[in-house]
Amino acid sequence: MKIAVPRETADGETRVALTPQIAGQLIGDGVEVLVQSGAGAASSNLDEAYREAGATIVPDAPALYGKADVVVRVGRPSDEEVEMLRKGTVLIGTLGTLSKPELARKLAKAGVTAISMDAIPRITRAQSMDTLSSQATVGGYKAVLIAAERLPKFFPLLTTAAGTIRPAKGIVMGAGVAGLMAIGTARRLGAVVEATDVRPVVKEQVESLGGTFIEVEMTDEEKARAETAGGYATEMSDDYKRRQAELIAERVKEADFIITTALIPGRPAPKLVTDAMVASMKPGSVIIDMAAEMGGNVEGTEPGKEVVKHDVLIVGLTNLPATMPGSATQMYAKNLHTLIKHLMKDGELHVDLDDEITKGATITHGGKVVHEATAKALEPKDS
């Protein structure tokens, strides 16, 4: 079996699907690994390191795709790359077909078996394959570092001969993996941190990291619907959003920085910070909108850009893990390797749709879109 590692083609993407170390482990299991020349350069994984691990360096994408039985990548393939995929090839990557379902249609038409890392079920035995969590960990950490660098004041309390400097105050919106990492990192840097989330069960986790949980009163019905079976936050009622916004608006006025992380799979990011809230913040304050790729949690976010609105800096970078490609690649490659081992049988990849993990992550197989949510997204909308 030949596993191919292409160079990522998305703008700003610096990660690569496999490290030389993981490539070497796959080779030790009898797999042939092909790596496109320069694929790992941006993450400091050079061609020579892959050669030393036993991988074969292939000069360009057409040659790579022409030999591959399995293609592993970080993000989505371009249209040109989809055309290079041979019928029967297995493609594994973060395909995001809920937001771009047309990609699934193209892959099915091409006869490609597509497995998406962002569709792996969030169950206990799949935790070591969960790239959403590993990459959110990187993103949450880097978001705080960016906020600390952009903020024109210290994060920690300082007592000096020049006087006492009070600590920065921050709000983290969304206490999932990224949010919890952001809370912990901001606290380690000395900031005072508050956090909010629609899931009341995360209160204890927030407090264990030294944060204060901003609690919105909820009805029993709201508590029951606040979290999906997979652990994701869900869209809340308009009345809940109103109560949440009123409570947060008072806190925002005192905040030096805000980090927003709220995402709902397959849906535009919920708007949590209004233009009026931004205007109420102190000049020089900083907002890091980690949901920028899906439209952003903040009114005024411009995906991929840093903009100033009402004297507040809004950072809408859409791929924070790519700003730390060394650690992000290491974690992604380990997740991917665990999935490959799960799928391998007698030296080949087997797609067993009776297996919960495989079924949940498989988008296309046998010329069809087999992922239920993606197939539903492709259905014609009522006019």
50 belongs to the catalytic site: no
Element (H, E) at 116: strand 113-116
Question: One of 65, 73, 116, 130 is an active-site residue; which one?
Answer: 130
In angstroms, the CA 374 to CA 376 distance is: 5
Residue among 47, 69, 128, 232 flagged as catalytic: 232
Q: Which of 296, 323, 317, 322 is nearest to 305 (CA)?
A: 317
- Is residue 133 part of the annotated active site? The answer reads yes
What is the end-to-end Cα distance of the chain in Å, rounded? 47
Residue 130 catalytic?
yes
Q: Are 200 and 218 in contact (CB under 8 A)?
A: yes
Whether 373 contacts 98, CB under 8 Å: yes
For the four alpha carbons of 152, 156, 157 and 158, in that order, the dihedral sign comes to negative
Q: Count the helix, strand and coil residues of the chain and give each as a percent rounded to the nearest 5.
A: 40, 20, 40
Tokens 């989330």 belong to residue: 197
332 catalytic per annotation? no
User: Among all chains, which residue has been given the structure tokens 């078996």?
Assistant: 113
Can you tell me the distance from the alpha carbon of 9 to that of 44, in angstroms, rounded to the nearest whole number? 17
From 69, 86, 99, 122, active-site residue: 122
Q: Which is catalytic among the residues 127, 188, 239, 352?
A: 127
Catalytic residues: 122, 127, 130, 133, 232
